Structure 1
Amino acid sequence: MNERTEPPGAGAMTAGGRHGDSLLRRVGRGVLVPFQPSDRALSAIELGGALQQTITTSRRIVVSRPRAGAGESTVTALLATVFAHYRNDRVLTMDITPGSDALARRLGVRPESSLGDLERGEADPDSFDELAPYLTAVRDRLWMLPGVQNGRRDGVDGQAFHRTLLPLTRFFGITLIDRGADVFDGFNRAAQASAHAHVLVAPATREGAVSIARAFDWMTANGNAALPADIVVVFVEQAPGEDPTFDAAGAADILRRSGAAVVRLGYDRHLAATSAFDPRRIAAATRTAAARIALEALRRAL
């Protein structure tokens, strides 16, 4: 599920792409639905209800990775889809990684405008209708506005973040910001500092767990010892049985002691085979994991 290494034009496979679950599993799940325990259905209902809780002011969630190739744009796109599905307010997504269009490709859109266009044009929208021409509609209640276009910063710095982006988020219930690794300019620092919750994505491997541990150590060393309580760690399995030696349960237990939530996102055939994914084709386990990540992030944002 590494969106950084997909072949050009992979999005064209979406309509006829593979389902995340095999045909046998999908048929079997349909046959067994009437015989499943009622508490399993209740859990799904409760999960959806919790994601619909009222938000009085806009919440910003930053999705980042301690190392490249973790799949944070996939996670961002999944979270955006979950929030837009369950909530009645608007959801905004942004990719502020210089030179990257991974999030746009995952969402299946080609934005024509960026935050930089708003900044350079000195636009100051007083309503959502005035902002809408700069946005790219993804689906109902979900929009995208890249932080940069074609990798160009063009003066979009930390001051621009506070001057331009923060006022815009008031038009949305949730703003998801896809922030790449090892980017420490003023814009990225401002995005990180302004977040109400953080989703930290790493491969489901021993190396991925070590990168998360190093990130936590860095936070503590830089006076952010309380930050782990605002973090949801997502271990992404990018291939079946990617690292058989990885002790996922042990790593999760250690990270949870710091206050962080931990969710595993298993391998999904549909996400691996396509660029712009179809929410109807992802595996049932993927949908459940994405909803749990969204709920954990929302709880911390509130």
Structure 2
Amino acid sequence: VGGNMPVDGALFLEFIPKSHQYLLTTLSVFFSFGAVITSIVAYLVLPQYSCVKSFNDNCNVNEHNNGWRYVLGILGTLTFIMFICRILFFRLQESPKFLNSQDKTHDAVTVLRKIAKINGNPIDIKESDIQSATVNNKESDIQSATINSANSNHTESFPNDTPQPQVRFFSDPIQWFLLKLHPIKPLFSRKWIKTTILVFCIWILVAFAYIMFNVFLPTYLESLGLSNDENIDGITLIREVLGDYVIYSVCGIPGSILASYLIETRLGRKGSMALATFGTSLAVILFSTVRSRTAEVVSSAIVSLLATLNYAVIYGYTPEVFEVKLRGTACGISAALSRV
């Protein structure tokens, strides 16, 4: 899953025209759908097959606390079914933009023809069409770099597209590792270093807060339920907590849809991220001050909506802000850092 998310986002972005890039933000709604499905499965399974540590019931943890195993088994089965469907029913082509950036013009033409045929609009495209467009883009980049160089006190160096030597891991592990780091180097060039650092920091900080809140929420709701009703039994308590968590998950769905609308307004990507982050912080402060169960559910639902909105914008913004050659690497590292 950690590998699929950045790759799928970058690949989707390279298949659609610029006017429809907002759809990548909309696609993040499926994260919320997944969270809802998981919450519902947990709500239906865990109460009957779990031992609640807050109670001294005659519950043998080794024999009766199997609810989490059943939940993971069900979710794993669903994931495996989707994996099979992805292989059998979806023939996804390689990105023509990526192929062209790797000088595989012939393969890029083949993919473009297949895409046009699938959409019922066959086109007669040739390698020369792509090559001429590529040359024009490169000339434009060189002209821009020359102007920038003339206005600065140093010269701009262009990336070296010379193929890297092949080194086997067992023959020279250090050199092999250094060569594997070669695609990362352009991210920290003078042109991209500010963007790279800012994007990486956004992913780390947002993920830190979001994951911490999600992990903490069920435990806090459980303690709140005990403080409000000391006579509540374990099964009822866990059912109430998981029911509240279902509500929390459902409220994330409109967040992704709202994000896809906001990024196309005057707020744009950056403004939407700033608004969502500020709103989430206020909602978390509200969540920490209220004490009733109803208020906790409402405030946590607001957190879910705004945090999901923020994540949706970040998920779409990251591949958009980097060029094709750097997009996959930047998205992959961002996703990895968010799990640190």
Q: TM-score, normalised by structure 1?
A: 0.23
The structure that is strand-richer by fraction is 1
More helix by share: 2
Looking at CA atoms only, which structure, 1 or 2, has the larger radius of gyration?
2
Task: Calculate the TM-score normalised by the size of structure 2.
Answer: 0.21
